[in-house]
Amino acid sequence: MSTPIELLSAEGPVGATTRLIIDLDAIAENWRRMAALAAPARAGAAVKGDGYGLGAAKVAPALHAAGCRTFFVAHLGEALALRPLLSRDAAIFVLHGIPPGCAGEFTGAGITPVLNSLGDVAVWAAAARDAGRKLPAALHVDTGMCRMGLPEDEIALLAADPTLLDGIELSFVMSHLACADDRANPMTARQRERLIETAARIHHRGALALANSAGVLWGADYHFDLVRPGIALYGGNPIPGEPCPVLPVVRLEAGILQVRDIDRPESVGYGAVHKVERPTRVATVAVGYADGYLRAAGNRGHALVAGREVAILGRISMDLMTIDVTDVPPDTCRPGMPVTLIGDALTIDRVAATMDTVSYELLTRLGRRFARHYLGGV
């Protein structure tokens, strides 16, 4: 990974001095590992948010080649963009349900909605009548997250009148775990029991789905018939502090723009929040919060230069950051040489923690000013 920035060809803007390296083979292997943990349950994949910010058009085909046949996106537009890239044996589920007036888009493209309300159920049942055939769907029931899915009053109505589902072929009934990242929280077990109870109440004897990445690690009792890992596919640990058998996926490198020597009473960056206390060599790097490297990492985060961990000095600005390279040999930190901001010891979870956020947000914010270089894939 020591190739000079300008010598690495990649997808991205002309003149980019940063590169985001995305290992599609690692994503595929992470899916295979999650699938093995979940077996005999089937393993799908969450590719919403543009493949967690890494490019769904690259990620989904790589997962498909690895054997994944069930994909989850948030919006209909995401599904329509993926449909031409995946074979017809791949099911694409839209978690946000059916936008008004868009049932025909689903049936025409072979996309499957997740029904989150009796309103969604009614729209899809009407679409089935118009099509003259049963239409597949997933049914999302709320088991305590109080965000999406049929609430208790609608579950009661459906239990009282199962004919509301006439014309709909349920691929599975699902819910979503709220606290699976915390082993000590009893809510995860309660949600599992509520899903089982709700399925019985609505007379569903088919497949169930509950586990996200963290849920996969909770074991067979939570796998049911289908799991839908997300962050683990992209190299994140869904349960902090516990081992997670996944490979790192992303590496972020940027070229040094300038190096300078300063001493007291100088300060570094906006607000002069870092005061120099000794002779210091400062390198300036072309990554800032406009690239998704959050401002909260200022004076807290770290970078790697020639394998050495160095501190970020001062505030992260829109397009730049400064790092302390005082203890790095000068011949390894000249202008144009690479600095690692994500990679090796700087895992996405560790970097996100310095920003007071989670790896999900970090990945989905990584900017389009980077030259993106994909390894492996199809």
- Report d(CA 237, CA 220) in Å as an integer: 19
Largest Cα–Cα separation, the chain: 79
Cα distance between residue 113 and residue 111, in whole Å: 7
* Residues designated catalytic: 48, 270
Q: Are 60 and 86 in contact (CB under 8 A)?
A: yes
Place of tokens 């920035």: 5
Residue 296 tokens read as 């909260």
Two tokens, residue 204: 């569903």
d(CA 28, CA 34) in angstroms, rounded, equals 10
CA-to-CA separations, 155 to 100, 112, 164, in angstroms, rounded: 22, 21, 11
H or E element, residue 374: strand 371-375
Q: Could you tell me how far CA 302 lies from the centroid of its own chain? A: 23
Q: Taking a C-beta distance cutoff of 8 angstroms, is the pair 72, 43 a contact?
A: no
DSSP string, 151-211: -HHHHHHHHH-GGGGTTEEEEEEE---SSTT-TT-THHHHHHHHHHHHHHHTT--S-EE--
